[in-house]
Amino acid sequence: MPLADGKTVNVATLWRWEPQGRGGHFVNKMTNGRINFRPGGFVRGHGNSAGPPRRPAEASRSTLLEQQPINLQRFVLDAPACTPPRTVALRFTDAGAYLHVEPDGSLGAHVSSCADEASCAFEIETPPGQDGWLAIRSRMTGRLVRMVDASHVPFRSWLGIHGAPARKKADAKLKAQREAAQRLRQHPGAATCPLRAKAPPGWRYNATRYAPLIDRALSLWCA
């Protein structure tokens, strides 16, 4: 997927413009995938197949973009006078939506108009020594649009935290634990356990004193 957070010119931030009619396609040098519009306003670098494996997006109606020049002084004041930047808005022809940068640096296409918003303004640069290749700089983040490939291991749970597999307890073990918990409720002070090895000999920790607090905190979820 493309992100507007690239710091340097490299294979991930270099793009080739393939003209087609009034528009064209941006092809990434690293993945050979095109900036692609996906249903729901998502912007990706893979094709439109239903599932994995994801393959680089080939030229199609969903990758066709139109470059619309933006001539706004607040976007060009910081540019060298001899090489004014070419600032454009990029519109997906088929979807009629504009490419824009989300607050987290990801790219989306949820808006149908782009007037003077920095989020949908991009500067097309020609890096020295990179004949035929371009760089796309977001005017909102000031960073280059780069393609992130899908070679990393996908996350298996929320935020990449691997959850412990759930295992059903044996009926006998579950019954014994429930009976022990019931005895502790009936006889406060019966639940004790040794402290860490550094504690003085004979010291014990009374776990029962927290049972009422725990019961009260969980009471909202008790049937």
Residue 81 maps to which CATH number? 2.80.10.50
60, with CB counted inside 10 A (0-12, 13-18, 19+), is: middle
Task: Please state, as a whole number, how many other Cβ atoms lie within 10 Å of the Cβ of residue 106.
Answer: 15
Asked if residue 114 and residue 19 are part of one domain, the reply reads: yes
Task: Please state, as a whole number, how many other Cβ atoms lie within 10 Å of the Cβ of residue 15.
Answer: 24
Q: Is residue 156 part of a domain?
A: no
Asked if residue 123 and residue 74 are part of one domain, the reply reads: yes
Degrees to nearest 5, angle at CA 107 with 53 and 51: 15
Asked if residue 25 and residue 100 are part of one domain, the reply reads: yes
pTM of the model: 0.62
Domain region containing 215: 170-221
Arithmetic mean of pLDDT, 34-62: 88
Reply yes or no on whether the pLDDT at 159 is more than 50. Answer: no
Asked if residue 175 and residue 145 are part of one domain, the reply reads: no
What is d(CA 134, CA 24) in angstroms, rounded to the nearest whole number? 14
The pLDDT-based confidence of 79 (bands split at 50, 70, 90) is very low
User: For the chain, what percent of residues have pLDDT higher than 70?
Assistant: 70
Asked if residue 121 and residue 178 are part of one domain, the reply reads: no
Reply yes or no on whether the pLDDT at 155 is more than 50. Answer: no
Domain count of the chain?
2
Longest dimension (CA), the chain: 86
Asked if residue 106 and residue 193 are part of one domain, the reply reads: no
Arithmetic mean of pLDDT, 114-130: 87
Report yes or no: 122 and 139 within 8 Å, Cβ to Cβ: yes
Q: Is residue 158 part of a domain?
A: no
Asked if residue 113 and residue 57 are part of one domain, the reply reads: yes
Q: What b/e readout covers 170-186, taking b as 16+ CB neighbours within 10 angstroms?
A: eeeeeeeeeeeeeeeee
- State the pLDDT at residue 135: 95
- State the pLDDT at residue 156: 41
